[in-house]
C-alpha cells in the first residue's frame, strides 16, 4: 500500500498536475496542526488518490447512485468519448436481463433469486439480490447507450449474486459482524422484500462524526439535503474534468475517514479486486485498447488503493467458484420509497432528484440516452450511427480541484415563479387532504421559504426549505386525512413513482397468468384494486379463470386476490363469483412465483410437497396438503401420494398437539370421498385404521398429561368415536378402545367430565348415573367452586359426542339456576372462550337444543317446568307444586280429547265407561277421597304406635 502511495506521489510530482494543490494543502495542514501529522497525510493522500485515478489509462467515471448530476455528466461524456466498451459496477450474472429494461416503466429493479440453496445455510433461503434502476441515474445512461449503440459492448464486472452471500458466509464463519451487504433488519418498502440491495455508486460518509459535522455546518437536517445543496447543484453545470475530480475527491475523503469495520473494508477491497481482475481479463481476451473503454463505478471504489488497481495492476486475486445454488433472474417493480429505504435516504429525496434531473435537462439542453421503445418515452426517430473508428482525442486533464475548492458558493437567484407555483400547489393539495388552508397560507409558505433559505445561507429556497415552510405554516395538531403535509409535499414534488415490468419482460409463469385471465377483460398490470365478476353458469369458460384465481389466492399474499362472493370447499363449486384483484400492485410477488416454476400449478405442487416432506411436518400439515391438492389441483395422484405420507407421519408422532386439526381434516376428506368416489381411497382407510390404534394407545397418557389440553383429548375421542364404524369394518377391535378408557384416570375436572362422557357412550355409565353425579357435585359445598370446570369438560365432550347436547343443556341450566354469583360470574369468560374456540360445531348444537326445550315466549317462561325436573318427579314420586306449572288439569286433556281408548280399556276390565264432567279446582285428591284406607295405613306407618 505504501509503495502505491509513493508511486502516486512520484507521478504527481513529475507531472505537476496537482503540485500546486499539494503545496497549498501541505501549508494549510502545517498551519492548522502546528506541524506534520495525520492531517497532512490524509490531505495529501486524497490528492494522490485523485491523481492516480485521473492518470489511469482506462478512464474511470465515478458516480453517485441516483444522482442527477452524475447522470447528466454521464450523458455528456458518452456523447463526447463514444467508448467501445463500458464496464459497469453491477453483478455480472445480471447482464442478460438488461435488454428487458426497454419493456418496463422505470423505476424497476434487477433481481437475482434463489428459492433452494446449495452451499449456504438452509435458514437463509430464499436468497434475493436487487439492484434498482431509475432514469435519473448514470448507470441507466450507460446501459441505454451501450444497448442501443451498434458496436458497443456492455460488460458487468462486479461480483456475482452468489459471491454476495459467499462473502457474507465467510464473515460469519470468521466471527465478524455482517456489514452493509447483510439483509436489513427492517424493510420499510415492501417492493424489494427482504432482498439484499446492491449499493451501486453509494456515496455516504461512514464516519458518523464527519456526517454530523457536515450537517451541522451546512445547516441541513439530513444527508440527502446536504448532498443536494453542496454537490448536486454545484456539479450540475460543471465540465467533465471538474465533475470527475470532485467526485474522486469526495470518494477518497469518505474512504480515508471511514471507521475500521473489518468486514465492510474487506468486502469493499475484494469487490475492487474482483472488478479490476475481470476488466483486465476482458481486455486481454478482446484486445480492446483501454483508451476506448469507460469504467463506471461508485466514487468510493474509484479512489481504490488495492494492488490490483488499474490495467497494470497485479493479478494475485483469486475468484472463488460459485456454489451449486441455482439462481433465477428477473425484473421486479421498484419505487422511490423502496430505493430510499435501501440506501438510507430521506423520504422524498429520490422524487426530488427526479425533478432536478428534468430541470437539468431543460436548462442545459443535454440529450439523454433512453432505451429504444422504453415505456413512458417517445421513440427516437434519429438514425443510429456506428461508433467512429477513431474517437476524438481528448486533452490531458488539468487541475480543476484548486479552482473548485477556492471558489465561493454560487448563490442562485430567487425564482419567484417556481416558488409561487409550489406555494399554490401545496395549498390546493392540503385542501384536498382536509386541511383548512387558504390563500393566506400560500403567502405564508412563500415568505417562510425565503426566510428559511436566508437563515441557511442560500438565496434560492430548495425543495427541503419549502417542505419545512409548508409544515410550519399548514400543519395542524391533527392530520385530517391520510397524509400529512410533509407527505403532500413529497407527492407534489414527484411522488412515490412505482415502476412496472412490461408483459414481454415477465417470466413465463406471469405471462401465463395474464393470458389465462384475459377473458376477464381487465387491465391486470394496472395498480390498484379491480373488481372481477364471474358468471360461471352463464359463461362456462370463466371456470378456468376461477381455478386460476383460487390458486393465486393460495400462493400470493392477502390482498392480491381476494374473493368477495363465492367459496371453494371440497365437493362444492360456486356458479357466481366476485373478486377484488390487485395483481399490478403485487407484481413483485407474481414475478417471484415465476422463479419457482413455469406454471402456478407446478409452483403449488412444489410448495405442497415441501410443506409435507419438511422436517417440521406433522400429520395435520400433511393432511392440509392433501386437502389443497384435491381442492385446487384436482390431483388424485398427488393426494394419494401425500395421504400415504400422512399415514407414515402419524405413526411417528408421540404427542397429540395436532389432534383437533387432524380430526377436522379427516372428517372433511371422508365426507368428500364418500359423496364423490365409488370407494374410499386405500390411503384414507389405512389412515383411519392406524389412527384408531394410535389414539387408543395415547389416550390414557393424554388424560393424565398436563401438557395435553382438554380440547386435544376431546379431538382424540372424536376421532375414535366418529371413525369407529369404519375402523371396526377394517378389522380394528373395540376392546382396545374400552381398555384405553378403563385405564384412564384423570385428575383435572375438565378431563374427568370428558371421561364420564366417554364412559356414557361406551355403556359403562348410564345417563341417569351421570346426572346423579352432577347433582352430587352441586350438592357438595367443597366441589361447587370447581363445578364450572366440569361443565367446560362436558362442553368439549360435544365434539366427540353430539348426542350429549340435551344433557349439556340440562347441566348448564342447572348451573345457572343453582350456582352462586361469585362462582358463576368468573366462569362466564371460560364458557365464552370455549364456545368461541369450537363455536362452529358446538354453538349450533346448543342453540338448537335449547330452542327445542325452552318455551318460545317470555310469558310462558314463568309457568314452564324443565323436562328433566318432570323426569326426576316421575322417578322419585315428586309432584310439582301448583306454582310450578300451568293451572288446571294437564294430564286429562289428551284423554278427554280421545275417549275411545279409555272406553276400550274400561270394557276390557268390565267397568262402566261413564265420563264425569270436569270440575274446577285441583283433582289430585279425588282418588284419596274414594279410597281413604290407603292414606290411613300410610299415616299409621309414618307416625308409629
What number is the average pLDDT over the span 918-931? Answer: 62
Model pLDDT, residue 393:
52
Q: Tell whether omega for the bond before 107 is within 30 degrees of 0, i.e. cis.
A: yes
Whose CA is closest to 270, among 230, 318, 200, 223? Answer: 318
pLDDT for the residue 197: 58
- 818-827: long-range contacts (C-beta < 8 A, 24 or more apart)? 818/778, 819/778, 819/784, 819/787, 819/788, 820/784, 823/784, 823/785, 823/787, 823/788, 824/788, 826/788, 827/788, 827/791
- Asked whether the predicted pLDDT for residue 391 surpasses 60, the reply is no
pLDDT in tens, 28-85: 555 555 555 556 667 777 788 888 888 888 999 998 877 888 899 999 999 999 999 9
Whole-number Å distance between alpha carbons of 919 and 916: 9
Which has the closest alpha carbon to 152: 240, 72, 82?
82
Residue 635's pLDDT is 86
Residue with cell 393566506: 440
Cα 757 to Cα 909: distance, rounded to the nearest angstrom: 46
Question: Cell 454560487 identifies what position?
Answer: 410
Cα separation, 850 vs 853, in Å, equals: 5
Alpha-helical runs (H) found in 705-820: 710-722, 724-729, 734-742, 749-762, 767-779, 787-797, 805-818
pLDDT tens column, 90-130: 999 998 889 888 888 888 888 888 888 888 888 887 888 88
Angle at 372 between CA 371 and CA 376, to 5 degrees: 80
Q: What are the percentages of helix, strand and coil residues in the chain, rounded to 5?
A: 60, 10, 35
CB crowding 919-941: b at 16 or more within 10 Å, else e: eeeeeeeeeeeeeeeeeeeeeee
Q: Tell me the CB-side half-sphere exposure of residue 758, using CA atoms within 13 A.
A: 33
In this prediction, residues 773-792 reach a mean pLDDT of 84
Main-chain phi, psi angles of 335, to 5 degrees: -155, 165
> In the chain, how long is the greatest CA-to-CA distance?
148
Q: Of 163 and 483, which is predicted with more confidence?
A: 163
The DSSP secondary-structure symbol of 64 reads: -
Question: What is the model's pLDDT at position 563?
Answer: 92
Q: Please, what is the average pLDDT of the chain?
A: 80
d(CA 728, CA 724): 6
Lowest mean per-residue pLDDT among 210-214, 392-396, 807-811, 818-822: 392-396
Rounded Cα gap, residues 727 and 734, in angstroms: 9
Please state, in angstroms and as integers, the Cα–Cα distance from residue 78 to each residue in 142, 202, 292, 395, 692, following that order. Answer: 8, 21, 11, 16, 77
Rounded to 10 degrees, what is the CA torsion of 619, 623, 625, 627? -170
- Distance from C-alpha of 709 to C-alpha of 793, rounded to nearest angstrom: 11
pLDDT 10s digits, 549-588? 999 999 998 888 999 998 888 888 888 999 999 998 888 8
Alpha-carbon gap, residue 587 to 190, rounded angstroms: 11
Provide, rounded to the nearest whole percent, the portion of the chain with pLDDT above 90: 21
CA distance to 216, 217, 227, 568, 703, per residue, from 210 (Å): 10, 11, 14, 61, 67
CA distance 249 to 13: 18
Crossing angle of helices 600-612/636-652, nearest 10°? Answer: 10
Q: Each residue of 701-728: pLDDT tens digit?
A: 999 988 888 889 999 999 999 888 899 8
Give residue 350's pLDDT: 83
CA 44 to the chain's CA centroid: 50
Question: What φ, ψ does residue 417 adopt, rounded to 5°?
Answer: -65, -45
How many residues would you count in the chain?
945
Closest to 255 (Cα-Cα) out of 294, 309, 175: 309
Residue 541: asked if its preceding bond is cis (omega within 30°), the reply is: no
Q: How confident is the model at residue 646 (pLDDT cuts 50, 70, 90)?
A: very high
| Cβ atoms within 10 Å, residue 421 | 12
Count helices and strands in the chain by DSSP H and E runs: 41, 13
User: In the prediction, which pLDDT does 17 show?
Assistant: 66
pLDDT digits (tens, 9 = 90+) for 239-283: 888 888 888 888 888 777 766 667 777 888 888 899 999 999 999
Per-residue burial over 329-349, b = 16 or more CB atoms within 10 Å of its CB, e = otherwise:
bbbbbbbbbbbbbbbebbbbb
Contacts of 536 (CB under 8 A, 6+ apart): 542, 543, 546, 573, 574, 575, 576, 577
Residue 879 has pLDDT above 60, yes or no: no
**Confidence band for 7, pLDDT divided at 50, 70 and 90:** very low
Amino acid at each position: 500500500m505504501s509503495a502505491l502511495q509513493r508511486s502516486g506521489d512520484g507521478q504527481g510530482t513529475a507531472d505537476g498536475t496537482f503540485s500546486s494543490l499539494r503545496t497549498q494543502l501541505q501549508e494549510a495542514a502545517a498551519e492548522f496542526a502546528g506541524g506534520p501529522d495525520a492531517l497532512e497525510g490524509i490531505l495529501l493522500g486524497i490528492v494522490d488518490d485523485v491523481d492516480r485515478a485521473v492518470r489511469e489509462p482506462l478512464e474511470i467515471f465515478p458516480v453517485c447512485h441516483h444522482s442527477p448530476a452524475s447522470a447528466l455528466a454521464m450523458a455528456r461524456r458518452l456523447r463526447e468519448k463514444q467508448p467501445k466498451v463500458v464496464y459497469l459496477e453491477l453483478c455480472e450474472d445480471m447482464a442478460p436481463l438488461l435488454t428487458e429494461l426497454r419493456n418496463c416503466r422505470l423505476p424497476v429493479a434487477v433481481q437475482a433469486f434463489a428459492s433452494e440453496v446449495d452451499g449456504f445455510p438452509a435458514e437463509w433461503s430464499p436468497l434475493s439480490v436487487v439492484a434498482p434502476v431509475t432514469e435519473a441515474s448514470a448507470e441507466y445512461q450507460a446501459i441505454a447507450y451501450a444497448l442501443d449503440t451498434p458496436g458497443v459492448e456492455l460488460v458487468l464486472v462486479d461480483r456475482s449474486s452468489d459471491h454476495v452471500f459467499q462473502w457474507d458466509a465467510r464473515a460469519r464463519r470468521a466471527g465478524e459482524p455482517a456489514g452493509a451487504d447483510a439483509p436489513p433488519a427492517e424493510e420499510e418498502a415492501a417492493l424489494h422484500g427482504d432482498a439484499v440491495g446492491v449499493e451501486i455508486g453509494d456515496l455516504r460518509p461512514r464516519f458518523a462524526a464527519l456526517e454530523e459535522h457536515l450537517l451541522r455546518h451546512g445547516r441541513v437536517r439530513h444527508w440527502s439535503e446536504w448532498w443536494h445543496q453542496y454537490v448536486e447543484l454545484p456539479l450540475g453545470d460543471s465540465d467533465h474534468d471538474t465533475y470527475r475530480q470532485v467526485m474522486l475527491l469526495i470518494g477518497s475523503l469518505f474512504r480515508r475517514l471511514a471507521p475500521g469495520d473489518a468486514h465492510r473494508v474487506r468486502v469493499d477491497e475484494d469487490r475492487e479486486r474482483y472488478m479490476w481482475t475481470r476488466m483486465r481479463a476482458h481486455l486481454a481476451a478482446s484486445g480492446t485498447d483501454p483508451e476506448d473503454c469507460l469504467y463506471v463505478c461508485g466514487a468510493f471504489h474509484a479512489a481504490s488503493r488495492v494492488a490490483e488497481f488499474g490495467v497494470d495492476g497485479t493479478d494475485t486475486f483469486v475468484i472463488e467458484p460459485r456454489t451449486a445454488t441455482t439462481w433465477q433472474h428477473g425484473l421486479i417493480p421498484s419505487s422511490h420509497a423502496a430505493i430510499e429505504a435501501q440506501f438510507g435516504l430521506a423520504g422524498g429525496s429520490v422524487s426530488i432528484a427526479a425533478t432536478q434531473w428534468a430541470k437539468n435537462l431543460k436548462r442545459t439542453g443535454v440529450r439523454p440516452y433512453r432505451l429504444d421503445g422504453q415505456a413512458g418515452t417517445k421513440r427516437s426517430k434519429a438514425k443510429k450511427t456506428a461508433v467512429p473508428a477513431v474517437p476524438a482525442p481528448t486533452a490531458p486533464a488539468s487541475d480543476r480541484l484548486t479552482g473548485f475548492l477556492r471558489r465561493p458558493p454560487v448563490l442562485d437567484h430567487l425564482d419567484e415563479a417556481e416558488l409561487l407555483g409550489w406555494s399554490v400547489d401545496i395549498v390546493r393539495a392540503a385542501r384536498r387532504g382536509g386541511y383548512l388552508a387558504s390563500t393566506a397560507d400560500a403567502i405564508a409558505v412563500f415568505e417562510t421559504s425565503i426566510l428559511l433559505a436566508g437563515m441557511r445561507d442560500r438565496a434560492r429556497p430548495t425543495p427541503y426549505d419549502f417542505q419545512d415552510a409548508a409544515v410550519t405554516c399548514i400543519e395542524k395538531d391533527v392530520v385530517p386525512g391520510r397524509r400529512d403535509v410533509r407527505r403532500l409535499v413529497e407527492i407534489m414534488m414527484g411522488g412515490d413513482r412505482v415502476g412496472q415490468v412490461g408483459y414481454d419482460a415477465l417470466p413465463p409463469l406471469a405471462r401465463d397468468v395474464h393470458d389465462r385471465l384475459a377473458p376477464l377483460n381487465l387491465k391486470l398490470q394496472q395498480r390498484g384494486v379491480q373488481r372481477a365478476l364471474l358468471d360461471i353458469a352463464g359463461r362456462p369458460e370463466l371456470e378456468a379463470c376461477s381455478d386460476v384465481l383460487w390458486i393465486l389466492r393460495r400462493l400470493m399474499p392477502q390482498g392480491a386476490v381476494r374473493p368477495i362472493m363465492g367459496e371453494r370447499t371440497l365437493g362444492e363449486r360456486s356458479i357466481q363469483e366476485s373478486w377484488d384483484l390487485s395483481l399490478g400492485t403485487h407484481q413483485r410477488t407474481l414475478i417471484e412465483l415465476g422463479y419457482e416454476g413455469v406454471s402456478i400449478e407446478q409452483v403449488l405442487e412444489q410448495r405442497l410437497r415441501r410443506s409435507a416432506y419438511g422436517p417440521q411436518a406433522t400429520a395435520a400439515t400433511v393432511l392440509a396438503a392433501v386437502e389443497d391438492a384435491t381442492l385446487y389441483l384436482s390431483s388424485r395422484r398427488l393426494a394419494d401420494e401425500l395421504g400415504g405420507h400422512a399415514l407414515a407421519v402419524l405413526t411417528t408422532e408421540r404427542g397429540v398437539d395436532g389432534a383437533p386439526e387432524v380430526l377436522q381434516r379427516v372428517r372433511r376428506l371422508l365426507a368428500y370421498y364418500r359423496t364423490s368416489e365409488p370407494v374410499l381411497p386405500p390411503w384414507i382407510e389405512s389412515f383411519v385404521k392406524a389412527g384408531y390404534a394410535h389414539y387408543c394407545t395415547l389416550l390414557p397418557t393424554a388424560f393424565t398429561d398436563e401438557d395435553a389440553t382438554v380440547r386435544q383429548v376431546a379431538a382424540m375421542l372424536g376421532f375414535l368415536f366418529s371413525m369407529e364404524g369404519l375402523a371396526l369394518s377394517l378389522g380394528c377391535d373395540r376392546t382396545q378402545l374400552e381398555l384405553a378408557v378403563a385405564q384412564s384416570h384423570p385428575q383435572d375436572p375438565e378431563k374427568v367430565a370428558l371421561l364420564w362422557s366417554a364412559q356414557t357412550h361406551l355403556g359403562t355409565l348410564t345417563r341417569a348415573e351421570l346426572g346423579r353425579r352432577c347433582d352430587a357435585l352441586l350438592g357438595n359445598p367443597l366441589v361447587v367452586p370447581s363445578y364450572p370446570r366440569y361443565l367446560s369438560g362436558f362442553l368439549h365432550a360435544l365434539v366427540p359426542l353430539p348426542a350429549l347436547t340435551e344433557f349439556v343443556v340440562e347441566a348448564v341450566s342447572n348451573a345457572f339456576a343453582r350456582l352462586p354469583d361469585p362462582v358463576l360470574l368468573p366462569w362466564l369468560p371460560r364458557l365464552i372462550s370455549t364456545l368461541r374456540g369450537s363455536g362452529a360445531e358446538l354453538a349450533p348444537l346448543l342453540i338448537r337444543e335449547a330452542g327445542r326445550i325452552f318455551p318460545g315466549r317470555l310469558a310462558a317462561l314463568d309457568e314452564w317446568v324443565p323436562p328433566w325436573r318432570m323426569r326426576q318427579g316421575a322417578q322419585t314420586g315428586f309432584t310439582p307444586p301448583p306454582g310450578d306449572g300451568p293451572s288446571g288439569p294437564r294430564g286429562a286433556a289428551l284423554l278427554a280429547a280421545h275417549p275411545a281408548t279409555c272406553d276400550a280399556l274400561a270394557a276390557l276390565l268390565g267397568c262402566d265407561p261413564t265420563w264425569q264432567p270436569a270440575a274446577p279446582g285441583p283433582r289430585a285428591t279425588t282418588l284419596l277421597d274414594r279410597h281413604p284406607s290407603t292414606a290411613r295405613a300410610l299415616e299409621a306407618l309414618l307416625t308409629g304406635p
